[in-house]
Structure 1
Amino acid sequence: MLLCVRWYVAYSLSLRNLEEMLAERDIGVDHSTVHRWVIKLVPLLEKTFRKHKRPVGTSWRVDETYVKVKGLWKYLYRAVDKAGNTIDFLFRARRDKAAARRFFEKAIGQHGSPETVTIDKSGSNLAALHAINAERETAIKVRQVKYLNNIVEQDHRAYQTHHPADAGVQGL
C-alpha cells in the first residue's frame, strides 16, 4: 500500500497505471482504492516527513523572477539561506503585495520565522514584510540591498528569458 502511494506521489503515474502495475504482481486492487489510500496516507506522510526536515537558516535571501510555464508567464518567488539552499518557493500569476505576502506566510508557516530577510528593491516584497511585521511581536529585520541577494539572483540566470511586458529589462 505505501509503495503504491509513493509511486503515485513521486512519479507521473495515473491511478489506472498503478492498478495495472499491481495486477501484474497478482495484487487485485481497484484504482478507486488506490485513490482512497492516497487521500488517507499523504497527509500522514507529509506530517511525518516535516518532523525530520533539515533546519533552515535564520537569514533568508528572497527574490522573484519570471518563468514560462505551459506557455504562460508566472512569477517564481524563492527564498534561500546563506549557503544557497532553497528554503521555499511559490509560483504566482502576479508580482504584487498579495503574492509576496502569500509567499512569506507559506515559508514562515513551514520553516519558522527568520531573523533577517534580504530582498532587492522590490516594493511589493517590502510592503508584504511590513504588513507581516505589523502583526508580529518580534519584527523580522528587512535588508533591502541588491548585492547581498547575489546567491539567489545568480541562480535565476538559468530560468530567465525576456518577458514580453518587460521589453529591454534584463531580469527583475
Structure 2
Amino acid sequence: MISLKGCHFPKDAVLYAVFFYLRYTVSYRDLEEIMAERGVQVDHATLNRWVVKYSPMIAVNARSKKRPTLSSWRMDETYVRVRGKWMYLYRAVDKAGNTLDFMLSERRNRPAAASFFAKALSSNGIPKKIVIDKSGANAAGIREVNKILNRFGCTTKIQTVRSKYLNNLIEQDHRFIQRRIRHMCGFKSFRSASATLDGIEVANMIRKQQFPNTPRRAFGCLPRSQDRCVQ
C-alpha cells in the first residue's frame, strides 16, 4: 500500500493526478487546469513534486502485484536525454510483450547490463533465454549473471540469443515511452528522470492489463471510476 503521510491532499486525488500525467500527453500546467475542473486547486510545481516523489513508490508497488510473465525475454535499451546528455533506459519484455523490468543508467556497459539483469531476475525469476541484439555489453552482462548463479549453486543457465528480428518486439514497445517523453520539456536531473520513467513504465503496464483489477491494484487505491475520486 502506498503511504502519502504528510500530504495535505486526498490520497485518491494525488494518485489520480500522478496517473493522468504519466499515462497521457499533458503538461503540468494542463494537468493543473484539469484538476481545477474537478475541484482540486493545486499548483503545477506541486504536481511535479508528486510525480517525482510518488512514482518510484508506485513502481515498487506495481512490481509486487503484476501478473506472472513468461520465461522467454527480450531485452534492449533506448535513449533518454537528461541535462543535455544521453542516458540509457534498459528495458525487458517477455515474448508476449508484457513488461518485465526497467532501469535508467548513465552508462551502457557490462556492469550496467549486469545490474539490470540482476534487478529483473529478482522480481521475475530466472528465464530460460534472453533475446538481445548485437550488443557485446549485454551479452557480457548475461555471462556475469550466469557466473553469479553458478556460485550460488544454481544449475540453471540462461541461454543468450542474438537476433535483431526477434528483438523487434521490444524495439516496438519503446515507442510508448518515447512518445510520452517527447512532449516533455526535458529532464533536469537523473533523479527526476528515473522517477518519472518508473511511473510511465507502470502506466504502460496498466495499458497492457498486466495487473488484476487494474488500475486500482497497481496504483494502490485508484477507484474503478477515476473521475469520481476528485469530483
Secondary structure of the equivalent of 2:107? coil
**1:118 equivalent in alignment to 2:136:** no
Q: Distance in 1 between matches of 2:144 and 2:16?
A: 35
**Correspondence for 1:20:** none
**1:144 equivalent in alignment to 2:157:** no
Which letter does structure 2 place at the counterpart of 1:142? T
Q: Which has the larger radius of gyration?
A: 1
Taking structure 2 as the reference length, the TM-score comes to 0.49
**Correspondence for 1:7:** 14
The alignment's C-alpha RMSD in Å is: 3.5
Shift of 1:156: 3.3
Which letter does structure 2 place at the counterpart of 1:103? F
Give 1:57's match in structure 2, choosing from 70, 76, 91: 70
Range 91-100 or range 139-148, more displaced: 139-148
Closer, same or farther: CA 89–52 of 1 in aligned 2, 3 Å: closer
Shift of 1:50: 4.9
Give 2:142's match in structure 1, choosing from 120, 126, 129: 129
Closer, same or farther: CA 99–144 of 1 in aligned 2, 3 Å: same
Secondary structure of the equivalent of 1:129? helix
Shift of 1:8: 6.5
**1:104 equivalent in alignment to 2:139:** no
Q: Distance in 2 between matches of 1:103 and 1:9?
A: 30
Closer, same or farther: CA 139–65 of 1 in aligned 2, 3 Å: same
Q: Distance in 2 between matches of 1:101 and 1:128?
A: 4
**Correspondence for 2:210:** none
Give 1:77's match in structure 2, choosing from 90, 103, 107: 90
Which letter does structure 1 place at the counterpart of 2:68? P
Percentage of matched positions with identical amino acids: 47
Closer, same or farther: CA 71–4 of 1 in aligned 2, 3 Å: same
Q: Deviations over 1:35-73 (max 9, x none)?
A: xxx9xxx69xx56x6553211111000011212135331
Q: Distance in 1 between matches of 2:90 and 2:65?
A: 24
Shift of 1:109: 0.7
Secondary structure of the equivalent of 1:127? helix
Which letter does structure 2 place at the counterpart of 1:118? V
Shift of 1:84: 1.4
Unaligned segments of structure 1, at least 5 residues? 13-37, 162-172
Which letter does structure 1 place at the counterpart of 2:104? F
Which letter does structure 2 place at the counterpart of 1:115? K
Shift of 1:157: 5.2
Unaligned segments of structure 2, at least 5 residues? 5-9, 22-52, 183-231
Shift of 1:133: 0.5
Which letter does structure 2 place at the counterpart of 1:146? K
Taking structure 1 as the reference length, the TM-score comes to 0.64
Q: Distance in 2 between matches of 1:81 and 1:98?
A: 22
Shift of 1:147: 1.2
Give 2:174's match in structure 1, choosing from 146, 156, 163: 156
Closer, same or farther: CA 85–134 of 1 in aligned 2, 3 Å: same
Count of residue correspondences:
135
Closer, same or farther: CA 141–9 of 1 in aligned 2, 3 Å: farther
